[in-house]
Amino acid sequence: MRHTFFCVLSVLITIVLALVSLRYFTDFWLLSLVYSFQIHLSIICAIGAVVALFFRRHWYGFVMLAAATFLNIHGVIMLREFAGKMPAEDAPRLFRLMSFNVEIDNWINNEKTADAVLASGADVVDLMEAVPIFPQLPRLQQIYPYRIGCDTIEVCDTLILSKRPFAHYEIHDLGNLWKRRLVSATIDFDGTPVDFLFTHLTKPYFDDFQNEELVDLKTAVQSHTGPLIVSGDFNSAILAPTIQEFLRGTGLTTAFPEPTTWPVAAGPFGISIDHIFARPPLLIRSTSRLGDSFGSNHYGLVSDFVREY
């Protein structure tokens, strides 16, 4: 019985470790979600290997434990690779950004979500799947008089709110699946013009669409030469090879560790699929998660930015 249990557990652990390890050979889209959970899965496999060794002390159990430990440590190293430089403690805050996927059918919580926006103290707000917020626009506009998107309820996916006027903005398609999911805007903060790219990517297991969107987004990032912020729902963690390739090709950085945003039920044990990235001379002082999901299947993020001189 002990031998049988060891064998069954070893087979299951080996399959999971093999799937996670495929990241070193391919970025196949169907495995992107597995790659995003690399740290979680490696911890589970390490615990499983210890349990297997409890039932039978065999060299293969130690091999599984070593492989799981390697995948775990390397996962943390990869997350750390994109951590931005910490600004000086006395550096004044330039602006605050809030980014939140409201969820398209989350009508019952639209008032609470609007309350959270108003209480955030954000200078700029990026809301995705924002249709439920449409009835709250008159109230939000009292604090955020400048708006991109949601001119009608039929066209209300990405909504950008700002306390300051937009010096320039454009709305673009991203990839071939969804329309109007890339907003480019420029806002002047006391003499510092900051470019923003607000995006919402397709889920990674929808064929190769997300990778195509990242190619378009990378091109958009490279067209901007000044201070730049990229935020939105990427539907993948930084551990996904496609996201890593995008970050390495653009020089964007993020807070470390990133707050987890999905799934909501997992709380702090989830993964970060919503991101706020910056490029020097902008630095992220802090990124925090909203205390409530307000009925969404994502948590929102709030980041404070400073400029490095």
* 95-113 pLDDT, tens digit each: 999 999 999 999 999 999 9
Same domain flag for 56 and 199: no
Question: How far apart are alpha carbons 244 and 242 in whole angstroms?
Answer: 5
Question: How far apart are alpha carbons 79 and 205 in whole angstroms?
Answer: 22
- pTM of structure: 0.93
Q: Is residue 87 one of the residues assigned to a domain?
A: no
Same domain flag for 20 and 162: no
Q: Is residue 30 one of the residues assigned to a domain?
A: yes
Same domain flag for 303 and 156: yes
Q: Name the strands in the sheet holding 192-200, side by side, starting at the edge strand that comes first in the sequence.
A: 166-174, 178-189, 192-200, 228-233, 274-279
Same domain flag for 61 and 115: no
Residue-level pLDDT at 30: 82
Among 81, 110, 144, which residue terminates a domain? 81
Q: Is residue 280 one of the residues assigned to a domain?
A: yes
Residue ranges making up the domain that contains 268: 95-307
Q: Report the SS3 class of residue 169.
A: strand
pLDDT band at 88 (very low <50, low <70, confident <90, very high): confident
175 Rama class: left (phi>0) / alpha (psi -120 to 50) / beta = left
Residue-level pLDDT at 12: 95
Question: How far apart are alpha carbons 48 and 110 in whole angstroms?
Answer: 43
Q: Is residue 189 one of the residues assigned to a domain?
A: yes
Q: Is residue 199 one of the residues assigned to a domain?
A: yes
Same domain flag for 16 and 76: yes
Give the tens place of pLDDT for each residue, 43-85: 999 999 999 988 888 889 899 999 999 999 999 999 999 998 8
Same domain flag for 227 and 171: yes
* Rounded to 5°, angle at Cα 274 from 272 and 278: 105
Cβ(182)–Cβ(170) below 8 Å: no
Instruction: Please spell the DSSP secondary structure of 4-30, one letter per residue.
Output: HHHHHHHHHHHHHHHHHHGGGT---GG
Q: Is residue 89 one of the residues assigned to a domain?
A: no
Same domain flag for 181 and 303: yes
Same domain flag for 237 and 200: yes
Same domain flag for 208 and 298: yes
Nearest to 246 by CA among 281, 223, 273, 221: 221
Same domain flag for 40 and 125: no
Among 53, 81, 109, which residue terminates a domain? 81
Same domain flag for 228 and 128: yes
Same domain flag for 59 and 125: no
Residue-level pLDDT at 196: 98
Give the domain CATH number at 266: 3.60.10.10
Among 81, 108, 133, which residue terminates a domain? 81
Q: Is residue 184 one of the residues assigned to a domain?
A: yes
